[in-house]
Amino acid sequence: MHELSLAQSLLDQLLDLAREHRAERITRVAVTIGPFSGIVRDSFEFGFNILKDSQPPTSSAVLEVETPDPVYICLDCNKISVIPFAQPGQSAELVLGGPYPKKCPWCCLNRLSPKGGTELILNQVEME
Ligand SMILES: [Zn+2]
């Protein structure tokens, strides 16, 4: 499972940080999961919360995950748009949702390309 190994490598990174700073424990971790990263947020949180218990420094770490809306660049007019994915039950047409939205809100052409958002970023770590 992809998310489980990502959660494990985040925890390894946290343990290194705790060691480096001579901290006893990590209290809070804030990460950003890019909308095009292919990471399933729930699975990642689930994996993190199971795996964190195996090491005392991370066992009480609270994970905060931020998932920004996807950003696209239009290949025709070069304008940048933030277009949320369609929520379950919403019409994809209506919100221009899904990984490949139908058209650019500025020029109404349909050549939108995902911009960034493929990464998992460690934003903030609090330890004591
Ligand atoms: Zn456009």
Q: Rounded to two decimals, what is the model's pTM?
A: 0.81
- Ligand 1 centroid to Cα of residue 94, in Å, is 17
Residue type, 59: S
pLDDT along the chain (128 residues), means of 10: 91 97 97 91 95 96 94 93 73 47 80 90 96
Residue 57 gets which letter from DSSP?
Answer: G
- Ligand 1 centroid to Cα of residue 101, in Å, is 12
CATH fold of 2-68+117-127 reads hypothetical protein PF0899 fold (3.30.2320)
pLDDT at residue 92 in the model: 47
- Ligand 1 centroid to Cα of residue 96, in Å, is 13
pLDDT at residue 93 in the model: 47
pLDDT at residue 38 in the model: 87
pLDDT at residue 94 in the model: 43
- Answer yes or no: are the C-beta atoms of 47 and 79 closer than 8 Å: no
- Ligand 1 centroid to Cα of residue 42, in Å, is 33
Q: Could you state, in order of their start, the residue ranges of all structural domains in the chain?
A: 2-68+117-127
Across the chain, which distance is largest between two alpha carbons, in Å?
55
